[in-house]
Chains A and B, each alone.
Chain A
């Protein structure tokens, strides 16, 4: 049995590793045009900022792959032939497979803005984007970043670390306010501004101006303002990278359409990670573009490939990020307008620590932590066990995951919350 995996991102590589644990004698090939070895995509920013070298971001040492007999092939796949069961590459012989995994990830969104293909305009997704950025930021004094999400703020931090002034265009009235409740979103706005970044809320990109030589020299916003800049970062989200599948017979929608076991319409062909669009009963298909979901997809997919009866259930939601110096962790349902939900929110006087509890009459359903680390397992267990808000407040210090000697805020939080409830 030969399993070929297109894409060495976290979904594809997790599937390969987990499959190897289950099937010691199967042949496993992972094909990537991006890099020789699997690396951590979220760490790209640290390579650019000089915290790490590219080598440090490799998931394992190079000997790991031959020892586990996972063949890594460096090539771009040009065509998938499901009838002959081969993939064709941009160089080298085609690869025949018995089972195929499509884990091609995402690409940066470009919404048809005038000038979006000029030199000096780019997204941030992979290693090639990083190389491009090295060139584009040379001599740049100001960069305009379009899109108030996680990649946008990372790109802002990256360029800021090189002394480039940042103008940050955010469509929403507050940063990441489609995900974050108002208070947290406000707090992040403040952190961004305190760091000296020019945050423009409720502002959209209208066009990117050509300097006459095919290079971006300014942007014009929907308010008619012209902002001079030498670099434009387009970070308004990502969408599945599925151009490769055109004409292959594999069904696609916004992404590669799969069932909850990551099977496509073609037997033996699977898709997982950012590029997969999971069909859900009720018709609201899911595309999940997080590192963590990619990893979980890969784990389930490996079991499916090995012939087990497995399907994906993402369990209790969690995510984490870092906004400049502000760490963020979330568990369960926050800002989801669950019927009957109530919120308790506490924020420290310095505006650098905050915690939110979301609960209903029955139980606590969500946590949002900013500038405080909270224990994944404890929060998950409380949500799973449907613990009451009183129970959670009583046991809150148990969930704190901050380092030793850090100031513990729980007593203050609970006092404030009890007053709010009363």
Chain B
């Protein structure tokens, strides 16, 4: 083993140690919901530690995304040490030296794995959480970390099979497709086909049968981080009606922006009428939405605003999946008769800020576009009132479920309500 591996090994051991600590700490307690003291601790209840951690996360993202700018102003290369530590690992996986994105990917994957172990220990009495946590760990490690690195080693495009348009808009941009098609061999074409099928076929079909959770809390890397690293902070999402009003405006605005960007780029590729304007649009979307919103704000503010800020207020993929879930899906959270005691555990621990109790205490099922199906509401309910179900009928979904297109047009204001 060369000296270069020492750093990588050290990082690995730290991760292993942390995982073991979470595992054995939980093993000492009887299985069950252990939320004791969450509202008292500075880390989980927006105290000083939470703010410090928030500043640390935010600072990390600022450095990560705006690294070159900082250097230009004479600031030191803060990430370089970490990147060099990972050179041997990066060379082993991808045949190249590490760069800052490799460092980021490694830390991200380790966070999902270590905090995933924490989830597995915390929910060892709950198979739903075990299965879906294993799923996000698998997709992060395999699809979002190892496979892209191997592809790089094979001189193929660094393709992420678990991200699709519009979350990863580049895959359906003309420049992205041109880039993939230009690669030798059929791999690029396969990737284009994968991306298109995922967006236009898998998304509606899987969402119809299982709700948006098949992606948001089982496959997606952003969701994976939220479900693992973000879990200790889920109770900090805002449940107010005001927050919901803001959410509806922002998430749909981002969706509109990315659709416009995509259309402009294609128009430009087709006719060339817009010159550089469409590229400027693409660059601005990447900066403000991709970097600042999904990265700096989305993860940086975990300890203060909860784990799903980006997924809830920004993600255009979540917006599309949400439309399907709301109007064209069998998925809903069912309420078990009149057993709700209005305690508020479900709403409090909903990372998406859905006021679950508002439905449960009226005995109504929950059909909300934003629900990522994490299942924590059902797990924390002390009376067994909530269950995530893929119904075979429309009967218990919502008014108009038997004619979803009409209901959708009514909700969108295109057709008057009947």
- Chain A residues within 8 Å of B, Cβ to Cβ: 10, 40, 42-43, 46-47, 49-53, 56-61, 63, 161, 194-195, 291-292, 295-296, 318, 320-322, 324-325, 327, 329, 373-377, 380, 401-407
Contact = CB atoms under 8 A, between A and B. Distances in A.
Contacts of A403: 126-128, 375, 378-379, 387-388
A108 B35 CA distance: 28
A61 B343 contact: no
Interface stretch (B25-33, B153-161, B268-276): B25-33
Contacts of B361: 59
Given A50-B35, A329-B384, A403-B378, A61 B241 contact: yes
Contacts of B125: 325
Given A52-B39, A403-B388, A373 B379 contact: no
Interface in B306-358: 336-339, 341-345, 347-348, 358
A292 B32 contact: no
A63 B36 contact: no
Contacts of A50: 35-41
Contacts of B37: 49-50, 161
Interface string B86-127: 000000000000000000000000000000000000000111
Given A52-B39, A403-B127, A405-B128, 19 more contacts: A40-B342, A40-B344, A46-B382, A53-B39, A56-B344, A57-B343, A61-B240, A161-B37, A291-B341, A292-B339, A295-B338, A321-B383, A324-B30, A375-B336, A401-B384, A404-B127, A404-B375, A406-B126, A406-B128
Most chain A beta-carbon neighbours within 10 Å: one of B35, B38, B339: B339
Interface in B123-167: 125-128, 130-131
Contacts, number: 124
A333 B339 CA distance: 17
B339 A318 contact: yes
Most chain B beta-carbon neighbours within 10 Å: one of A161, A320, A402: A320
A376 B338 contact: yes
Contacts of A51: 33, 35-36, 38-39, 345, 348, 380
Nearest to A299: B338
Interface of B: 30-33, 35-41, 125-128, 130-131, 240-241, 336-339, 341-345, 347-348, 358, 361, 375, 378-380, 382-384, 387-388
A213 B341 CA distance: 40
B131 A405 contact: yes
Given A295-B338, A375-B337, A320 B384 contact: yes
Contacts of B341: 40, 42-43, 291
Contacts of B127: 403-407
Nearest to A62: B240
Contacts of B36: 49-51, 161
B128 A59 contact: no
B100 to A, nearest CB: 39
B246 to A, nearest CB: 15
B388 to A, nearest CB: 7
B210 to A, nearest CB: 10
Contacts of B126: 403, 406
Closest 6 CB pairs of A and B: A376-B337, A325-B32, A43-B343, A373-B384, A405-B127, A51-B35
Given A320-B339, A375-B337, A380-B337, A327 B35 contact: no
Nearest to B336: A376
Contact of A325 (B31, B40, B348, B375): B31
B375 A318 contact: no
B358 to A, nearest CB: 8
B345 A373 contact: no
A321 to B, nearest CB: 8
Nearest to B362: A17
B307 to A, nearest CB: 17
Contacts of B347: 56
A57 B344 CA distance: 5
B333 to A, nearest CB: 11
Contacts of B339: 292, 318, 320, 329, 376
A376 B340 CA distance: 11
A380 to B, nearest CB: 7
Contacts of A60: 358
A43 B240 contact: no
B131 A42 contact: no
Contacts of A53: 39
Given A61-B240, A63-B241, A42 B35 contact: no
A376 B358 CA distance: 19
Most chain A beta-carbon neighbours within 10 Å: one of B339, B341, B378, B388: B341
Contact of A327 (B241, B338, B382): B382
Nearest to B337: A376
A329 B337 CA distance: 12
Contacts of B383: 320-322, 327, 329
A407 B36 CA distance: 27
Contacts of B35: 46, 49-51
Contacts of A49: 35-37
Contacts of A291: 341
B338 A292 contact: yes
Contacts of A327: 382-384
Most chain A beta-carbon neighbours within 10 Å: one of B36, B127, B345, B361: B36
Contacts of A58: 344
A11 to B, nearest CB: 13
Contacts of A63: 241
Contacts of A320: 339, 383-384
A49 B345 CA distance: 12
